Amino acid sequence: MSVMDLLSGLQSLPFPTLVREDGSLFPWIESVHVLAITVVVGTILIVDFRLIGLASRGRKITEMIEEITPYTWSAFFIAVCTGAVLFSSNAVKYAGNPPFLIKMGLLVLAGLNAGVFHFLVGRDSEQWAHLASPPWKTRIAGGLSVALWVSVIGFGRWIGFTMH
Amino acid sequence: MLHALSVWLGRTPLSTLLQNIDWVIPSVQSVHIVAVSIVIGSVLMLDLKAFGLVGRSLSLAHYAARFGPWIWGAIGVLTLTGVTLVIAEPDRSIENAIFQLKMVLLLCLIAELSAMTVPLRANSVFWEARGRRWLLFALVILTLVTVVGIVFAGRWIAYSQ
């Protein structure tokens, strides 16, 4: 059984079929997906601008991360769930859509960037978390995160123009 | 009248130019959504602070000073990109009831945020007065409902032509 057979089977299930064929279910789920993504990106940018040294320069970085990330993760969870439902409604077509595949790749890169920051760059954060202008490795991680998440939004929007 | 405006706008050279370059609308929409994200992230921080859920060692006036310029700057970008999208696709927006609702909600959000943050410029503890706490909480709920409404209306414009 090929991947395409699996995807075809997935989109033939009752709920994905309902989402695809019902006139208003897809836009409602898509609206929640967009709202969740804007919360994810909006809260991540607040932390990123602090990492770069652009804003909140007087606040301790680790304190900000502790405060904001629970909201980011909650919104990310909703974005993944709604995104999975949207994908399942037309899995074969999404799997062959270049902007969708690029968006998924960018999400993996954003996750890797966050992981590298958390486990490598952030190890000695007590030494620089209070600095108005953090060290270059922290600013690079913040800059990369901004670029990746803005690109996620860009390619996400492009999906809608290339699925017809 | 709105129909005439939409037809006239759609025939202007700028509208024709924007319609004929494939990447313009998706790119402008992407910038529009990034600006929406900045507004939502900043409003969320203000609202969480008003509820005492973040920045306990800092004042609401501090949060308003930190996020206010980003909110107003992002609303400026939203206006510029929004106007560009209306010029590019007037038939998709001007006569569309959901688009009109989105504009009303945007004006409501501007009024709510102004009511929340402007008094703090003159008096940083304005909302600390006991009788005003409920009004602040009401404004917080209103801003949350309004931004959710703006995002939903924005997405539904595409489905309501």
Got the DSSP string for A43-85? HHHHHHHHHHTSS-TTS-HHHHHHHHHHHHHHHHHHHHHHHHH
Percent of chain B topping pLDDT 70: 100
Helices (H), chain A: 3-12, 14-21, 25-52, 61-89, 91-95, 98-119, 125-128, 136-162
Q: How far apart are CA A124 and CA A158, in angstroms?
A: 39
Q: Count of domains in chain B? A: 1
Q: How far is B96 from chain A (nearest CA, A)?
A: 16
* CB-CB contact of B63 with B70 (8 Å): no
Predicted confidence at residue B1, as pLDDT, reads 83
Count of alpha carbons within 13 angstroms of residue A68, beta-carbon side: 24
Tell me which residue range forms the domain holding B49: 2-159
Q: Decide if A153 and B30 are in contact by the 8 Å CB cutoff.
A: yes
Which whole number is the average pLDDT over B47-52? 94
More confident residue, A82 or A134: A82
pLDDT grade for A18, boundaries at 50, 70 and 90: very high
Whether residue B116 contacts residue B143, with contact meaning beta carbons closer than 8 Å, is answered with yes
- Interface contact flag, B44 A39, Cβ < 8 Å: yes
Helix A14-21 / helix A61-89 crossing angle, nearest 10 deg: 90
Each residue's pLDDT tens digit, A141-160:
999 999 999 999 999 999 99
Residues B64-68 have a mean pLDDT of 95
Closest CA to A50 of A40, A37, A42, A60: A60
Instruction: Give chain A's end-to-end CA distance (angstroms, integer).
Output: 27
- Which residues have CB under 8 Å from B70's CB, separation 6+? A55, B38, B42
Chain length of chain B: 161
Q: What percent of chain A has pLDDT over 70?
A: 100
3-class DSSP assignment, residue B81: helix
Closest by CA to B151, choosing from A137, A78, A129, A4, is: A78
Tell whether B72 is within 8 A of chain A (Cβ): no
- Per cent of chain A over pLDDT 90 is 81
CB contact under 8 A, A41 and B37: yes
Q: Which residues of A touch B34 (CB under 8 A)?
A: 41, 150, 153
pLDDT given for residue B79 in this prediction = 96
Smallest Cβ distance to A157: which of B30, B48, B70? B30
CB atoms under 10 Å from CB of B125, counted, come to 11
Partner residue opposite A34 with nearest CB, options B30, B34, B155: B155
**pLDDT tens-digit profile of A64-77?**
999 999 999 999 99
Report the chain A residue with the minimal C-alpha distance to residue B38.
A42
Q: At A82, is the pLDDT very low, low, confident or very high (cuts 50, 70, 90)? A: very high
DSSP class of B56:
T
B97 to chain A, any CB pair closer than 8 A? The answer is no
C-alpha B125/C-alpha B8 separation (Å) is 50
- Provide the pLDDT for residue A5: 93
Res A118: pLDDT: 85
In chain B, DSSP finds a helix count (H) and a strand count (E) of 7, 0
- Answer yes or no: do A38 and B151 touch at CB < 8 A: yes
Q: What is the mean pLDDT of residues B107-117?
A: 97
Contact (CB, 8 A) for A113 and A144: yes
The minimum CA-CA distance between B135 and chain A, rounded to whole Å, is: 25
Q: Which of B38, B55, B58 is closest, CB to CB, to A42?
A: B38
- Nearest residue on chain B to A161, judged by CA atoms? B26
pTM: 0.94
- How far apart CA B119 and CA B151 sit, in angstroms, is 27
What crossing angle do the helices spanning A136-162 and A98-119 adopt, rounded to 10°?
160
Structure tokens at B29: 């929409």
Q: Token pair for residue A2?
A: 């090929």
pLDDT of residue B131: 87
Q: How far is A52 from chain B (nearest CA, A)?
A: 16
Q: What is the ipTM of this complex?
A: 0.94
Contacting B with CB below 8 Å, chain A residues are 24, 27, 30-31, 34-35, 37-39, 41-46, 55-56, 59, 67-68, 71, 150, 153-154, 157-158, 160-161
Amino acid at B27: S
Mutate: best of B39, B109, B151, B156, partner A, most A CBs <10 A:
B151
